[in-house]
């Protein structure tokens, strides 16, 4: 069984089209929890283009499971995290705000910055995760920083154009998950997962929690938030089927 965290950013993205007060990500989070979500996730960006500070404050008040905040290691965002104190902060790579995050943290150029940021957050009692590529060096860098968890970037897996490539990526995800577990890191996964491509990852039996956003919100537009979340949670909570 794997846990399922619902990312509510795309509710904020829909709101951004009209620059109004609705739809409200916090209300979506409540419905997601009522439907059985194990957690709520959001990504606060420097430009506040989607999730806003007010959303974060409301989510902190209203989320009853656990709140994960994704941020880049930027002073302003770190201050918000220290103020709100979510259950988990996932440190994200620097990226163009208008482009979907495709790669994990660049440790070659930013290792010390991420280590210092994680130490600051953990010093305030906040659990810390790194969003990383499923690669040996990335997992080891996360372990050296003495953080709590990693979120494996599923982008290469979900972008695979052939079955052979997808299977190779699954093997890599499994190996890195096992390595992370040996290094006492909780293993999470996200980025582009949907109702179909998540199942092979669940069957690995090595990933504790999945973060799902766009797929669930898109389906919610057709059938409603609670049903869309419930369907995803039911998939996530299935027993892994090892081949």
Task: Give domain status of residue 243, yes or no.
Answer: no
Q: Model confidence over 87-119: pLDDT tens digits?
A: 999 999 997 655 567 899 999 889 999 999 999
Give the chain's radius of gyration (CA, Å): 17
What is the average pLDDT score of the chain?
Answer: 94
CATH for 21:
3.20.20.70
Task: Give domain status of residue 159, yes or no.
Answer: yes
Q: Model confidence over 26-48: pLDDT tens digits?
A: 999 999 999 999 999 999 999 88
Q: Model confidence over 157-215: pLDDT tens digits?
A: 999 999 999 999 999 999 999 999 999 999 999 999 999 999 999 999 999 999 999 99
Q: Model confidence over 111-159: pLDDT tens digits?
A: 999 999 999 999 999 999 999 999 999 999 999 999 999 999 999 999 9
Task: Give domain status of residue 71, yes or no.
Answer: yes
**Axis-axis angle for helices 53-62, 25-34 (nearest 10):** 30
Both structure tokens of 1? 């069984």
Range of the domain at 135: 3-236
Task: Give domain status of residue 25, yes or no.
Answer: yes
Task: Give domain status of residue 108, yes or no.
Answer: yes
Task: Give domain status of residue 36, yes or no.
Answer: yes
Task: Give domain status of residue 241, yes or no.
Answer: no
pLDDT band at 25 (very low <50, low <70, confident <90, very high): very high
What pLDDT is stored for residue 243 in this prediction?
59
Task: Give domain status of residue 224, yes or no.
Answer: yes
Helix (H, G, I), strand (E, B) or coil at 96: coil
d(CA 153, CA 183): 18
Number of domains in the chain: 1
């Amino acid at each position: 069984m794997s846990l399922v965290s619902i990312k509510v950013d795309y509710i904020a993205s829909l709101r951004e089209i009209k620059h109004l007060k609705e739809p409200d990500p916090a209300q979506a989070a409540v419905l997601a929890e009522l439907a059985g979500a194990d957690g709520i996730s959001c990504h606060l960006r420097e430009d506040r283009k989607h999730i806003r500070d007010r959303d974060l404050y409301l989510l902190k008040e209203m989320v009853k499971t656990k709140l994960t905040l994704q941020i880049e290691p930027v002073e302003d965002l770190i201050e918000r995290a220290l103020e709100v104190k979510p259950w988990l902060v996932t440190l994200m790579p620097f990226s163009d705000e208008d482009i979907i995050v495709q790669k994990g943290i660049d440790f070659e150029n930013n290792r010390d910055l991420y280590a210092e940021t994680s130490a600051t957050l953990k010093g305030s009692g906040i659990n810390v995760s790194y969003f990383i590529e499923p690669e040996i060096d990335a997992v080891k860098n996360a372990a050296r920083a003495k953080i709590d968890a990693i979120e494996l970037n599923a982008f290469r897996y979900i972008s695979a154009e052939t079955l052979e490539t997808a299977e190779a990526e699954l093997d890599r995800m499994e190996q890195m998950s096992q390595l992370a577990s040996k290094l006492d890191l909780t293993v999470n996964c996200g980025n582009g997962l949907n109702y179909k491509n998540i199942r092979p990852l669940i069957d690995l039996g090595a990933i504790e929690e999945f973060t799902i956003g766009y797929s669930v919100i898109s389906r919610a537009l057709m059938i409603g938030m609670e049903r869309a979340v419930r369907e995803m949670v039911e998939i996530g909570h299935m027993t892994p089927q090892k081949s």
